[in-house]
Structure 1
Amino acid sequence: MSLLESALHNIISQATQDYKDIATNDPVVQSSDDNTARGDHLDRILRAQQLEKKALWDKLYQLENSRIQDQANAVFSSKSEAVTSTARKQLQALMYEHREINNLVASEMANLDTMERPSDDILEIEFREDVDRQIKQYASLNQFAKKQLDHLTNMLREEKKVLSECEDVYAALKEKERELAQEAYVQSYPTQLRREQAEWDLQYKQDTHDLIDFLDEYYPPHPVDNAGDLGEQCELKELLEDLMNQAVDSPDNPYIKLVPGTYWTPYIQTLVKGGVVKYHPTDSSFIRINDFTY
């Protein structure tokens, strides 16, 4: 134990003992606030004790602070010496490496000065060889890319063929499924279907008869355009019949051509305004019957 630590230990022990003595020996003095008198002598004694305790604790704090600072300085001093020694060794190593690098650079520079520069002919030959080699590499790469492209094209063509065959098979299966479903329905309800079919046929005949009577009464035969009263005549019911037959026979192309000299324009306009027929979107000489949906 050093002298400083011994002195610090003695001071701490003395301060602790004095504090215990003062704390245990302080007289219990009643305050004047509770109507009991207390002499000035006792007040001075108490103030002196408090000042003494404060001074003692301040001295203890200063000694402890000084001890901590001394220890820190000692540690920093030892570390500083160690760091300085390590840094000195590193600096020496770096200086040696720097010197060696400078020597190598100087040697290489000397070799560059003594190297012979090839002639322009040799440089040109080397350049041409390098260009030819690159051209051959590009040609080989291009050939490989073409082979890959042909292979992928053939694969795509085969895939399209397989896809088309699958679509055809799927369409055939769907059609067969529809036929089987219809056959099953017919087999399950033959009597009902025959009755419904008979009712539809009867209704169709009745509607057709009513339509013909209506057209004969309100839209009788009329001379075609520019034919005069005694010229060739046209009938609206025949025009409607042609339109319906075309729509049934050729659903993909339900249009018929309006041939001049075979129709009367007001009849055509009446059908168009009534929403019964409509013109071709790009050629007004063709008309078709409208699709009626319910």
Structure 2
Amino acid sequence: LQRVKNDLESMLSTVMLQNEHLEEDLKREQQWYKEQEDILHTLNNMEEDTENQVGQPSVTRYFYKLQSKMLKLQEHKEELLNALSEILENYFPHPVSPKKENSSVKPTVELITLHEILEILVNKLISIPHEPYITINDSFWPPYIEMLLRFGIALRHPEDPKRIRLEAFHQ
């Protein structure tokens, strides 16, 4: 019984020592938490003061932000057009008019590539979004136009079948 009592007393002293360490840790954590709250409060006050001093953001700042966004969009557009041109060069060669063996007459119209057609459509859609239609003339190879229409890449004008526009996929 004496041995059990000694064991329990030693265990009690160990637990009390651990309890003291835990209380010290708790006090340190509470102090750290209070300091963090004070820092947060100070930063919030500084932010409010700064917003009050600045007032409304300047027009030049908006202009520069808008200009930087426009440059990023232009770079992205160029990257996409370059990737598109590589694909089109590989899979859609330049259209060649059928030549008659006895004919020495040169074709009156130079046919444009699918890449050029798509570039015209994209540029028109970006530059004039409210009127993105282009007029189809003899330089547009009809199989390319038909392919663009069938696959939903381009749409005909509702009133003029000689005009098409790029489908606005971004809307």
TM-score computed with the length of structure 1 as normaliser: 0.31
Q: Which residue of 1 aligns with 2:83?
A: 210
CA distance in 2, matches of 1:276, 1:233: 20
Kept in 1: contact 2:125–2:132 (CA 8 A): yes
Residue 288 (structure 1) aligned to one of 152, 162, 165: 165
**2:98 maps to 1:228:** yes
Counterpart Cα distance in 1 of 2:136 and 2:158: 15
Residues 70-89 of structure 1 correspond to what in structure 2 (within 5 A)?
Answer: none
Q: Which has the higher contact order (CA 8 A, sep 6+)?
A: 2
- Secondary structure of residue in 1 paired with 2:164: strand
Instruction: Work out the CA distance in 1 between the residues paired with 2:90 and 2:84.
Output: 10
Matches of 2:92 and 2:160, distance apart in 1: 26
Quote the residue 1:278 is aligned against. Answer: 155
The alignment status of 1:269 with 2:146, answered yes or no, reads yes
Counterpart CA distance in 2 for 1:182 and 1:275 is 43
**Aligned counterparts of 1:204 and 1:237: Cα–Cα separation in 2:** 14
Alignment of 1:68-147 (within 5 A): none
| TM-score, normalised via structure 2 length | 0.50
- Structure 2 distance, partners of 1:257, 1:181, is 44
Compared with structure 1, are the counterparts of its residues 183 and 274 closer, same or farther at alpha carbon in structure 2 (3 Å cutoff)? Answer: farther
For the residues of structure 1 that align with 2:84 and 2:59, how far apart are their CA atoms?
Answer: 34
> 1:202, CA displacement in angstroms?
4.2
Provide the aligned C-alpha RMSD in A. Answer: 3.1
Structure 2: which 5+ runs fail to align? 1-55, 100-105
Deviation at 1:212, TM superposition (A): 0.8
Does the Cα contact within 8 Å between 2:81 and 2:119 map onto a contact in 1? no
The whole-number CA distance in structure 2 between the counterparts of 1:281 and 1:182 is 44
- Give the secondary-structure state (helix, strand or coil) at the position aligned to 2:86: helix
Aligned pair count reads 107
> Alpha-carbon deviation of 1:201?
4.6
Query: Hey, what does 1:251 align to over in structure 2?
Result: 129
Please list every run of 5 or more consecutive structure 1 residues that lacks an aligned counterpart in the other structure.
1-179
* Counterpart mapping for 1:127-206 below 5 A: 183=59, 186=62, 194=68, 200-206=73-79
In 2: Cα distance, 1:211 partner to 1:182 partner: 39
Residue 246 of structure 1: how far off its partner (Å): 2.1
SS where residue 78 of structure 2 aligns?
Answer: helix
Deviation at 1:184, TM superposition (A): 7.9
Contact (CA 8 Å) 2:154, 2:166: kept in 1 or not?
yes
| Secondary structure of 1:253's aligned partner | coil
- Residues of 2 paired with 1:182 and 1:235: CA distance? 46
Letter in 1 for 2:156: Y
Q: CA deviation at 1:200?
A: 4.3
Give the deviation of 1:292 after TM superposition: 1.4
Distance 1:181 1:251 in 2: 29
> Aligned-pair distance for 1:211?
0.6
Matched AA of 1:257: T
Q: C-alpha distance in 1, partners of 2:136/2:71? A: 36
Q: Cα 1:241–1:181, aligned 2, differ >3 Å: closer, same or farther?
A: farther
Greater percentage in helix: 1
